[in-house]
Structure 1
């Protein structure tokens, strides 16, 4: 553990005021978050200590990030939650179980990370009901990744709780950590306070010119000023300094610490090394390890040198001290320290830490240690720590003497890194595996991994042939992985946008059919492959029945092991493409997308999560929840950017097009065109055609809609063709191209009749109504019934609009007004302004005046609307909190604002208020 003494905080009055205000807020029941950022030695830890020292009347919880610590999933979070674990049994069962598994208290399936975050939020919230809670996290950039992500999740959801969180982050190392949270940035002290600090600690009168020089050289860094002047007189500083020293501040301070370390007795340096190598701060463990090395646990000389504070356990004076102690030791000394710590660590209670210390102690490959690391990696995987699994396996690779085992472990580590969205690390380990003797089966795994990395980085059309080659290798070995890989190959061809050609979807389908591959471990996966291959190779009439059987199996299959979840997530994208674009099955799309998001989060599969979020956003959007769809899209973009994966623009394109936002849509379309050209992601051309059709149909510019939708149907890819046909029909009718519209209707009918769902038949009926004036009324009514039964709000609104336009053209103004009014209200509520304006203009043509929506008229934010709707449906505050990953206190706080804005007094009034509140 590290600690910093609390001198007078010269020159930090502003910063202290910020922290004072934060503590005042939390004592009055308001949450606060602050991230203190700055370079090493700038005073972050001192300010954190200031906050802790002034947090009287609160419960304080602390966590410390340590660079040399291992990547044990949830280790730092476990440390922080220690004061609250007595209340863990009172958590809702799903949260309780998730937290127990995460902390290794119980065994079970990998915990949902969002459930773990919600459990921590609930623990802190409940503790704050009796006493405000202050969470202090030092050096957050060195926390294990999953703990950092969980604490960030909690920090972003604090609102109405008496909980404050203060983090320190060292820049530039932590530039990517906790981005977007409130920041208190520290710079060097100004000349006057920096000089005052020097005057306070230097013996004798300091020459002003020397003082100014020291301030300039240290750039006002307070730790540098204190440490470099420690024990020196004014005369020493005037004549003994080195004005030409241009090293960085942190380097100069570290060298000062190193010189003090060198002056200590050897047994004291050894004791400090044990403390630096053991980040938990277990005093008993430190004593046992010191005894093994024959060292007396006497830290007094180190305290006299200003490197530590005498406390239980030993506390380093600054994080840089710990780093210096560990760095200055020789490799043999570090290994001896870790060996003693490994021998002192309980193999039953702390097997993972024991394995890690043993690995750090090894100076040559040793199978026993490598095997223990592999077992620790497996336990990390079961807790949902994908990064920890990969890190432990990577170290096991270094310690494996047998080349064959080394290659297999390198391959497993590469697969884990890919799952953790670290394709660069995966590539490096794949290279190691490639240099080792591998079986034919492992060679196929390696080929598949390289293709997956290529697809993850840019969805290149080069991935599909590589996957097909790997699938053929698996088939030759009669491996059950063959069919899974053929399914991945078809998925890659779908994104490549190619149906025909030697590397197109049809070729992949034929290869799968003729491979002779044995069944995989999943009946649902096999049926899905059979259905897709039949549709692509033999035609829709033969393939659709198999796809329906596959759906039944997919819905019944709930993967329980992590490996099964990974396999399921690999097949999820192509399954959802099939059910949304080929079978028009909205229920299947909804169920599969929700499961994909849940599983991705449960096992921390950041590579799969952006795909899952994109498909889930599509479902939310079709249901009419545009705000939630936008949130999912934004989260998917953020994850892709953070992990280096190619962004998924499909859902964003569809959303902006339906919103009628030409200025936002066209740049994304141009980016999609460039991506299709540069990387071969030709499916973007198909979606671009559909998007142009939607955009310009909504804006009433039907000639552009006709040309755009034509691009989509000419592309004739696996996805979006059917959707583009419906846009093409509407645009063609409006442009007077009835023969063109009839041809597209014929193509659409072949697709929708095969599918047989209400979604398919509803869209087909609506499009047919545009061409069949005698049956139009009946067809529009059929479309409304079918689409409303499916719950596809955007198409219900679209049908009301087209029906109303037809009624107006038939001079049935009263009936037209009714349909157009409904269309306008629905589009307006969903903020689809292009179509809303089209409906408004049509209403005006019937003689009815409407007002443009004022988004702030009710005053409800999108989150308040979500909470209000859920509350109106009968959910309790804890249930709403679980649904939206908020604390019940925050839900209650939002509801009080909702009541005030809607001018109601109770939950019972919500349904009526939401139904009758006029947006204007």
Structure 2
């Protein structure tokens, strides 16, 4: 499929380009910069204005300067084949491709259809292409020339931009050309743009006089005026006039614009060619790459001899190495296609499909264009091409091909299945909800009974966009129950349906949804760690996870390195999240997010990053991932995942003492998820609110939120949030005198068996056990918690152990011993930015007799507004009264007070008056 390199020597003399001295000078400087440090140029202009001539001239000059030239161009009939344009550049460098590291070579070969393997991510393909060009530029500077960028496929255009932005310091030049677009703005490529404008009247006449000296000046002036300075139009119009013998220039029909008229003139020239030549030109136009081997095989007997008339008429040219044919100008290709009949085009597509048997996607595309009536054989080939696209990471191509396969499906059930698969991929992998909705509207218009694929697509859409878990669950469970016997591990449609209903049930968190799903899961054999059945079982009962399942999950995670299937990465990470194995998945999850090919999968990927950062006490990083998630969801319409972003934002705010921020995010969750009865999300908000209240020592509020998740001592199935909220519930219960409830809950958590799943869960279990132990056992239990292997991974939880341990020792009158624990807690909380928890530790230290903290004098950091709020609170005013007086919101007043308390070294309003009285007097105001 490769375009030959160094396709030059076609009659373009740089010195002979009339009126292009400025452009040629700029391009010569571009080549000098290319040889020294890398450079880019993009020529823009109307059809026929001379872009291709300048590309050819620059290529000739580059060769003269000792550079190597590799060329490619966009082909409008290949815009839906990912990396078709890049294929042309890569195929011209087979020796360099063989010298790349195996991983890079495989990424390029799989992406371009030259080899088999797991789908590479776009970023891997782009990096490999850049390395390939680097390799080619080792011996001599390399010039990459890409014509017609406006019709280059999206993936190749992205690769061009990627390479263009990274050429500094490399001896590589990238020279492109495109037409201005009348529709959407052309995406940025990273190339420096140079506009090629029409010739002025004087240069137009000079060009005509040089080429057509035999024509009268009057005719040349008429041609110059009508061609509007377009060089190709000038030459073609004048040539047509000369050939016709119409020395008056009458009847030329030049009033519709130079580009359109030139195509008409090209069409007339093509029409005069022998039929055999026109047939070969049509094959070349539809094949797109110019591969001589493909054209020779598809052209039948006599090979390519029939191209000779077109070559002699300068409509096409054959590369010097004889491996590729190129149209003189894109308008020639358009004229060839426009001048053919529908049946001629279909026949040409069929012949090309017969030749491209080893290239499933291109073969499928040609068959799709060659077929006008439903044909299951053709539909199956196109569906196979779609799956090939998906393996290469081309989700958009897979969706387009599945839709075409559906159009050609004679069986309505097959048609519906293929459309549903396309809709699911559009939503889950490609991230195109609008496309998915459009396809599902077509599916819903089909009266055939609901399929698993249709249920999965419809259920996923209604879940992620509207948060309607009830409809999603009903659709999917109905389809699953009608599926064949569930004896083997699910795969294909059934696995997709199970995964989607598990997601719906997770977010619902309601027993009426979990019970029927657990029943289905009970009929299934043991599955792989990334399977939907495994996810459902873990979520249903975390304590039921066996050591063997953990071992297999660890093995699965170890195999993720280099995994390019976003689905496998996301599903594995989803299971790993529940048992604290996310750090092992982090690198691959990051790749899913940053590589760009799987927009839908990027959202759960961001969730996993936020989870991992939250557990590791990297709260700023967690909040940033959450903010990115929320923004992406708002942009794309995935409203369900945005609520998860609000949860992590709320947790980060809670840990850092931003009570207003925490409340704002919790309220967003409650307002959206509550009416939709998404209990899991509602619980998330209660957990964040409980954590904020415990940090602020508001234990009554904390207990109310924690017990909204579960009652003390009751660990309902389908509710993994009980493990996360357990320390808050136990501590809040103890501090408000509900000791029996605290002990009952600690015992239930301990008996659940979760402590063996990870060091964080073990730390949770041992901490709440120590907090609720008898005084004579408490010291030993806290020491056991601090000695747990791997506890250092969870610094906030360790700080919490030190704080609870120090508080317990102080209550026993062991002030000296308690200071060591409280100092450790304060230091950890200070490092983490957990300001409310740091304030609690500082207050406990003062209670042991330590009157000065390492932070300096109490009150020295109060802002004027904090001081005013503190004085009004000390006078006995309530938060609403202070808010009214200072024109603030009550929540802002509350936030100020929680910042004031640690600065003053106190924990309650009762201590405010004494703390303020102890402040040093304010310095007198300076005299004016």
Deviations 1:132-190 (A, max 9, x none): 444444445644455555566666666665555556666658968865x646456685x
* TM-score using structure 2 length: 0.67
Residue 529 of structure 2 corresponds to residue 528 of structure 1: no
State the TM-score, normalizing by the size of structure 1: 0.67
Distance in 1 (alpha carbons) for counterparts of 2:51 and 2:630: 31
In structure 1, the residue matched to 2:924 is none
1:330 corresponds to 2:341 = yes
Corresponding residue of 2:708: 714
CA distance change for structure 1 residues 652 and 796 in 2, over 3 Å: closer, same or farther? farther
The alpha-carbon distance between structure 1 residues 682 and 237, as it changes in their structure 2 partners (threshold 3 A), is farther
Q: Secondary structure at the match of 1:315?
A: strand
- 1:492 CA displacement: 1.1
Bigger drift between 662-671 and 82-91 goes to 662-671
Deviation at residue 491 of structure 1 after TM alignment: 2.0
Aligned-partner Cα distance in 2 for 1:23–1:844:
73
Once the two structures are TM-superposed, the CA of residue 671 in structure 1 deviates from its matched residue by 6.0
Displacement of 1:450 = 1.9
Deviation at 1:124, TM superposition (A): 3.2
Q: Which string of whole-angstrom CA distances, capped at 9 and with x for unpartnered residues, describes residues 269-295 of structure 1?
A: 544433221111113433554556999
- Greater radius of gyration (CA): 2
Instruction: Find 2:684's aligned residue among 682, 687, 699.
Output: 687
Query: Hey, what's the Cα distance between the residues in 2 that align with 1:707 and 1:169?
Result: 64
The answer to whether the Cα contact below 8 Å between 1:486 and 1:508 also exists between their aligned partners in 2 is: no
Instruction: Give how far 1:399 is off.
Output: 3.5
Cα 1:213–1:486 shift into 2, 3 Å: same
Aligned residue for 1:586, secondary structure, equals coil
Post-superposition Cα deviations, 1:334-367, rounded to whole Å, max 9, x if no partner, equal 1233234345x254x4455345334423343444
Distance 2:739 2:141 in 1: 66
Within 5 Å, which residues of 2 pair with 1:158-169? 161-163=170-172, 165=174
In structure 2, the residue matched to 1:575 is 575
Post-superposition shift, 1:449?
Answer: 2.7
Counterpart CA distance in 2 for 1:701 and 1:633 is 23
CA distance in 2, matches of 1:240, 1:175: 34
Segments of 5+ residues of structure 1 without an aligned counterpart are 536-542, 580-584, 851-920
Partner of residue 87, structure 2: 78
Provide the residue aligned with 2:457 in structure 1.
449
Tell me: CA distance 1:164–1:195, structure 2 relative to 1, closer, same or farther (3 Å): same
Retained in 2: the 8 A contact 1:359–1:395?
yes
Partner deviation per Cα, 1:555-613 (whole Å, 9 max, x = no partner): 455899x9997885685576355x1xxxxx313x3446666677899996553343134
Q: Contact (CA 8 Å) 1:797, 1:826: kept in 2 or not?
A: no
Residues of 1 paired with 2:835 and 2:332: CA distance? Answer: 59
Tell me the equivalent position of 2:862: none
Aligned 8 A contact 2:68 2:142 in 1? yes
Aligned counterparts of 1:65 and 1:568: Cα–Cα separation in 2: 34
Deviation of 1:511 (Å)? 0.8
Aligned residue in 1 for 2:901: none
Distance apart, 1:81 and its partner CA: 1.7
CA-to-aligned-CA distance 1:684-722 (integer Å, 9 cap, x gap)? 44434445566788xx7666x986895576356945554
1:694, 1:727 within 8 Å by CA — same for their partners in 2?
yes
Of residues 311, 326, 331, the one that matches 1:315 is 326
**Pair 1:123-2:132 in alignment:** yes
Which residue of 2 is the match for residue 887 of structure 1?
none
8 Å contact 1:307–1:316 — kept in the other structure?
A: yes
Q: Within 5 Å, which residues of 2 pair with 1:675-824?
A: 675-676=672-673, 683-691=680-688, 714=708, 718=719, 720=721, 722-724=723-725, 726=727, 738-739=736-737, 747=745, 750-751=748-749, 754=752, 755-756=754-755, 757-763=758-764, 783-786=785-788, 788-789=790-791, 791-793=793-795, 795-796=797-798, 820-821=826-827, 823-824=829-830
- What SS does structure 1 have at the residue aligned with 2:641? coil
Q: Matches of 1:236 and 1:619 in 2, distance apart?
A: 80
Is the counterpart of residue 608 in structure 1 residue 601 in structure 2? yes
Pair 281,479 (structure 1): closer, same or farther in 2 beyond 3 Å: same
Name which of 269, 281, 285 aligns with 2:290.
281
In structure 2, the residue matched to 1:257 is: 263
The alignment's C-alpha RMSD in Å is 5.9
1:268-667 to 2 correspondences below 5 Å: 269-287=278-296, 289-290=298-299, 297-298=306-307, 313-319=324-330, 321-343=332-354, 345=355, 347=357, 349-350=358-359, 352-403=361-412, 405-418=414-427, 420-421=429-430, 422-426=432-436, 443-461=451-469, 462-474=471-483, 481=490, 485-486=497-498, 488-495=500-507, 498-499=508-509, 504=510, 506-515=511-520, 518-519=523-524, 522=527, 524=529, 525=531, 528=534, 531-532=537-538, 535=541, 544-546=543-545, 550-556=549-555, 572=572, 575-576=575-576, 579=578, 585-587=579-581, 589-591=582-584, 606-620=599-613, 622-623=615-616, 645-646=638-639, 648-649=641-642, 650-651=644-645, 654=648, 658=652
Are 2:569 and 2:588, in contact at CA under 8 Å, matched by a contact in 1?
no
Whole-Å separation in 1 of the counterparts to 2:79 and 2:828? 59
Matched residues, number: 797
Compute the displacement of 1:489 (Å).
1.9
Q: For the residues of structure 2 that align with 1:725 and 1:621, how far apart are their CA atoms?
A: 17
CA distance in 1: counterparts of 2:169 and 2:599, whole angstroms: 30
Cα 1:681–1:141 change in 2 (3 A) is farther
643 and 745 in structure 1: CA distance in 2 versus 1, 3 angstrom threshold: farther
Q: Distance in 2 between matches of 1:376 and 1:555?
A: 34
Q: Write out aligned runs for 1:134-213 (5 A).
A: 134-140=143-149, 142-148=151-157, 161-163=170-172, 165=174, 182=190, 184=192
1:687 touches 1:712 (CA, 8 Å); kept in 2?
Answer: no
* Bigger Cα displacement from structure 2, 566-575 vs 386-395: 566-575
Match of 2:861 in 1: none
Q: Deviations over 1:294-338 (max 9, x none)?
A: 99634666885x865675644335445534543453312312332
Q: Secondary structure at the match of 2:78?
A: coil
Question: Retained in 1: the 8 A contact 2:614–2:648?
Answer: no
Q: 1:366 to 1:771 in 2, by over 3 A?
A: closer
Listed one character per residue, the Cα deviations across residues 800-846 of structure 1 (whole Å, up to 9, x for unaligned) are 7888999999687787666544554465xxxx999999999999951
**Native 8 Å contact 1:531 1:544 kept in 2:** no
8 Å contact from structure 2 (residues 204, 231) kept in 1: no
* SS of alignment partner, residue 277 of structure 1: helix
Q: Give secondary structure in 2 for the equivalent of 1:124.
A: helix
Distance 2:250 2:842 in 1: 80
CA 369–463 in structure 1, closer or farther in 2 if over 3 Å, else same: closer
Bigger mean CA offset, 5-14 vs 411-420: 5-14
Deviation at 1:127, TM superposition (A): 3.7
Unaligned runs of 5+ in 2: 210-215, 711-717, 858-928
**Secondary structure of the structure 2 residue equivalent to 1:608:** helix
Q: Residues of 2 paired with 1:222 and 1:708: CA distance?
A: 78
The structural deviation recorded for 1:544 is: 1.4
Whole-Å Cα distance in 2 between the matches of residues 668 and 15 of structure 1? 59
1:108-119 matches, cutoff 5 A: 108-111=117-120, 114-119=123-128
Q: CA deviation at 1:619?
A: 2.0
